[in-house]
Structure 1
């Protein structure tokens, strides 16, 4: 008999606090509703000492301590695994925490990790500033040069990070080619799938018709973005299909003590059912605005995987034609200075200025890529603006962009 089922009657002599802590009432069984109940706990109660001493597998079917999971977080793990097409999922406090988990779990002194030159900035900082302390080396590769990438893979290479699309400049790589090269050499491939979010493509089955089963070994997301959708939650996930790989990740997960607030888990669970709808709506608005900006004389280049001429467009057509997310970036003509580009961003009225994306509000951020690229810049000049399109009306956003461009012309 479990502690929660144990018949109890509080003796009248017991104090009020004791009666309230050990109150005998338990709600009746049989409750069922669409929202997942929020189970908060640090302490998990065992039936008896035998149950306490019995080994609890880390499989989402038993409970040991609130840090390792509650019914609420187990439910989200299962749904994110379904979203990714995975078998196993771990939740962490942020997308960066997911990246850190993967790198620390899989890399040892003397190992090498390869990263695309357009890698997410915080992954770059982690690799440059923390991993060398553990004797881990790194190199950056051009995500669009598959032969050069294959030549870089060496005996010490243990992990390859992939981004599709790449951070800020949104180059879309030949994911299938990168994954094939890694598998041929027994190297683990890890995808930052925040952009695709389980909607644009299936990370563990990249070419389901031509090459079934070809996929990455690990797919992580910043659930902060599309899965949350409200710009009010920080969370990340790490998914795999391989049980042994999942156990390695799970070991490090426990060592790092990653835990989540169950109210945050509740918010992501609440918003997951609308993910595909929001993705499609923001994708459609983004394509319209990206095409419109590409026709403006102030613009030198627009980076968006669905636009012909954008770097890696042909790979996007092959592997991700189902979606293209809410991001596009604009490189302005070289005659405009960084200060003038900042003035353009400041003139926007329907775009917030801030990081992250996939929330309800559109955002714009100017970037100087000279400090975040090792292999050269993809356009003439150094300043561009990344737009993250929200849920506003497309006509209103286009009118706002037109007003800001008029300010740029007069600057």
Structure 2
């Protein structure tokens, strides 16, 4: 039985939703995507061919890595999986169609550590594609993004005789925590790209709305700060110890205040704290998991500088040493106006988009794509981050157990990108 591309896109989305994998552990996901791209006639690059595999940020625990990799080996075979070993889970499909611009589409792959809702009105549960991975789900639309990417691959393969240029579908690992893009930038993989695009499905944006250039993404740093003190008996000789938890607590209080200093958006969050060994022992270790965000790169540098000063002062006060480790980062970036205008023109030509916004500065958090945008723009290329309304009938937020998107938005986004690709061969901006 022949399926339409739209039906295949929905099937892809449900497959990925059923089998989510966390960042740097997208082994089965990457192997599946590579096979699909090969079957469609794409040249496929994987692992170190796409990314710089040294010094990856925010890697998972080694035990989790071994479990995820061995699972993929059982499904796809040891030989096929070797190219993805050691968290090298990036995949790129390349289609060469003669002279013309090089257009790349970024697609993110990773899921989140969230237990999916089993409520009777949760559509993935109703339709039988709820997550099969305990405590992990696609709660930010990356399942939809991958489906759109593979759907676009089908359109490109089917109509490649209408194309002139080189086309790259870049499937990026570890977007959550803004960890994965840096490895691709370091590799130089995008050095010949003229146009770079990505789309994000928004469950809290009305179906039929598209923002051609989202410019409100914040610069961010994700940091692990560890304090090292000296453990002693808390009742007999506390004065001989150095309290790492106290150094961490003073840091928390001081950090909370700096987000209110100066102009512009600033966000500081200490999402997790751990430390100590027992109630009657002065803590010799404490760790904070922190994120900083600002609406400009300058603002982010200022936050980071202030954090470093606060950590140093807090540690010194308690006689502790400290370590600051960066486990994720992304930049603030602005899309190119001329490319946004072209996206707007194509979206307005499609009946499915009823509310086309050229650009906005709405705060939608941070996005790893901005590092790729800046890399391409610095080399003279153009880039835009596109927001697509995908709200189902009820209002849903991202990163929640009941997250879902309207599948009607999937094919229209793939077609929008395909139409843009055809347009760009005629109008080299």
Q: Shorter-normalised TM-score: what interval? A: under 0.3
The structure with the greater share of residues assigned to strand is 2
**Which structure has the higher relative contact order (CA within 8 Å, separation 6+)?**
2
Normalised TM-score (structure 2)? 0.27
Normalised TM-score (structure 1)? 0.28
Q: Say which one has the larger Rg.
A: 1
